[in-house]
Amino acid sequence: MTAGTVTSTLRLGTRGSELARTQSQTIADAITAATGTPVELVHIVTEGDRSAEAIARLGGTGVFVAAIRRALLEGSVDLAVHSYKDLPTAAEPGLIIAAVPGRADPRDALVARDGLTLGELPAGSKIGTGAPRRVAQLRALGLGLDVVPIRGNVDTRLARVAPGDLDAVVLARAGLARLGRLDAITETLDPLQVLPAPAQGALAVECRTSDARTRELLGRLEEPTVRACVIAERSTLAALEAGCSAPVAAYAEVADGENGPELFLRASVTAIDGSDAVRGSATGPLLEAAALGRALATELLDRGAAELMAVGS
């Protein structure tokens, strides 16, 4: 440890779910490895953890994020780790995303009975997922599948596959990877079939804007190219004025352009019944990620995206 290193323990607020704790511990270990600073996990019980009714009433993951952010603002914890795709697109006053670390595989994954792939599931098979985006895109494939919305943590969803009441479920591959459940996957879905959610697979490490010491420590975990990709994707979502539960997909990759690295951004909006969709793509410099996302959203709106988001809502 170098002279002058500050070693007072950082308190990391986390929900008690296995995935939340695993993600938080991964970041805690990375902070300690990079800075020599010990990190303590502080479990926070949220309204969403107390009541399934709260999730339905208040709308998805917001009931989890709000309690963690409140603890941050009150000073009872120093930082928090979020699945980036779960965060509202609007900034939270007093808080800052101080680091976007390396991203896990952002694709969706199928877990099906008998090792089947999506194309091998017979028409009428019941396939469960918790995301309207996935519901819409799976229906749009025209495979004759019975796509049903489900809730619950990863293990709860996996347990519903045969001999449960479902033939398959679709989840984020990143969550399965972080929990060591990759062996359950029967197919990783090609983004050409099912485009990921904005920021899927990415983590957001958040702290108070005024906490210069924690901001500096967390900044050592930053992956600038990942942040650029996520900014492009979430700017698309924000410009569409859609939340994380809308049937909006966006995925950015870094590719070699004529003048160096550039972003290749794809996005889609799909009617929840799968009857129609608009898709588009755009390329641009990494430093113009937000503008790229907004421009692609404008194109999608010009082609009827708002009307599609209203179908079945």
Give me the active site residues, please: 86
| Amino acid (1-letter code) at residue 140 | A
DSSP letters for 169-185: EEEEHHHHHHTT-GGG-
State both tokens at 78. Answer: 């120093």
> In this structure, are residues 282 and 292 in contact, taking their beta carbons and an 8 Å threshold?
yes
Pairing of strands 168-172, 203-208: unpaired
Q: What is d(CA 194, CA 201) in angstroms, rounded to the nearest whole number?
A: 15
Nearest by Cα to 71 from 224, 210, 208, 236: 208
Nearest by Cα to 97 from 226, 263, 286: 226
Q: What is d(CA 83, CA 243) in angstroms, rounded to the nearest whole number?
A: 15
Q: Is 98 helix (H, G, I), strand (E, B) or coil?
A: strand
Q: Is 250 helix (H, G, I), strand (E, B) or coil?
A: strand
User: Per DSSP, what are the bridge partners of residue 257?
Assistant: 260
**What Å distances lie between residue 68 and 50, 52, 192, 219, CA to CA?**
14, 18, 35, 20
